[in-house]
């Protein structure tokens, strides 16, 4: 039974009528990140997706933010804080945490965990099982910023199955309609055509490069026109020296 169904059942059951459910503005319980690389990787994923989807308001993405999925008590063991996750078909707004029973029973559509020496075993086993059996998250990826271990799974008939990489080693996310792959030792998004999804800074740099290229082309064209004008003037002088009026030609 889903959380939504559980809540609906509780609300219609007389014995639960007087229970006060915990508020939806629960604070995140996550510990500090393992390393600077982990922090930068999370920020990179969020920054790139937000830039790509800047005109969209129907999703929520976050990093190292607690997901509460048990309404029974405010502080329980029933919460997890993925390093990065995306929920689709929801309101894009700030949240202190993701509280499933306050979000229409919605769980993440995609989760990415960043492996480390202290979390890798849990990410590959316990968390994977929770995301598969309880969250029913359609796609789960893990990436190690140190060793560059990268793997992805898609939920097929209730069980995570490995996602086959393409020729570039990228893994397709059906949920995001994007590839995930490694570029310069970082996990990045790629378009369906395998084009790197840029950060805002990279986009600005590329725009400046293109502007500079256009400016250089204009300068080259202006210089060429100036050369042609000078050559024309010289020819006119020569013709006049020969007694020929260039205007009559």
How high is the pLDDT of residue 70? Answer: 77
What is the reported pTM?
Answer: 0.72
3-state secondary structure the chain: CCHHHHHHHHHCCHHHCCCCCCCCCCCCCCCCCCCHHHHHHHHHHHHHHHHHCCCCCCEEEECCCCEECCCCCCCCCCEECCCEEEEECCCCCCCCCEEHHHCCCCCCCEEEEECCCCCHHHHHCHHHHHHHHHHCCCEEEEECCCCCCEEEEEEECCEEEECCCCCCCCEEECCCCEEEEEECCEEEEECCCCCECCCHHHHHHHHHHHHHHHHHHHHHHHHHHHHHHHHHHHHHHHHHHCCCCHHHC
42-62 pLDDT tens trace? 999 999 999 999 999 999 999
Per-residue pLDDT, averaged over 119-137, amounts to 93
């Amino acid at each position: 039974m889903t959380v939504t169904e559980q809540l609906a059942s509780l609300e219609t059951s007389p014995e639960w009528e007087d229970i006060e459910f915990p508020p939806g503005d629960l604070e995140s319980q996550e510990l500090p990140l393992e390393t600077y690389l982990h922090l930068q990787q999370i920020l990179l994923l969020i920054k790139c997706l937000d830039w790509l989807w800047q005109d969209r308001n129907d999703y929520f993405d976050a990093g190292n933010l607690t997901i509460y999925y048990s309404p029974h008590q405010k502080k329980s063991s029933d919460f997890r804080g993925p390093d990065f996750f995306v929920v689709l078909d929801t309101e894009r707004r700030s949240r202190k945490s993701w509280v499933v029973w306050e979000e229409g029973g919605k769980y993440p559509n995609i989760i990415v965990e960043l492996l480390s020496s202290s979390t890798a075993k849990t990410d590959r086993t316990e968390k994977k099982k929770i995301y598969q059996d309880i969250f029913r998250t359609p796609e789960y990826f893990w990436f190690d910023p140190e060793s560059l271990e990268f793997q992805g799974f898609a939920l097929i008939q209730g069980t995570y199955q490995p996602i086959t990489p393409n020729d570039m080693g990228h893994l397709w996310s059906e949920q995001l309609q994007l590839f995930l792959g490694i570029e310069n030792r970082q996990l990045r998004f790629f378009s369906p055509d395998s084009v790197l999804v840029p950060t805002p800074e990279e986009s600005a740099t590329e725009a400046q490069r293109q502007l500079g290229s256009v400016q250089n082309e204009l300068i080259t064209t202006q210089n060429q026109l100036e050369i042609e004008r000078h050559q024309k003037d010289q020819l006119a002088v020569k013709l006049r020296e020969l007694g020929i009026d260039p205007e009559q030609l």
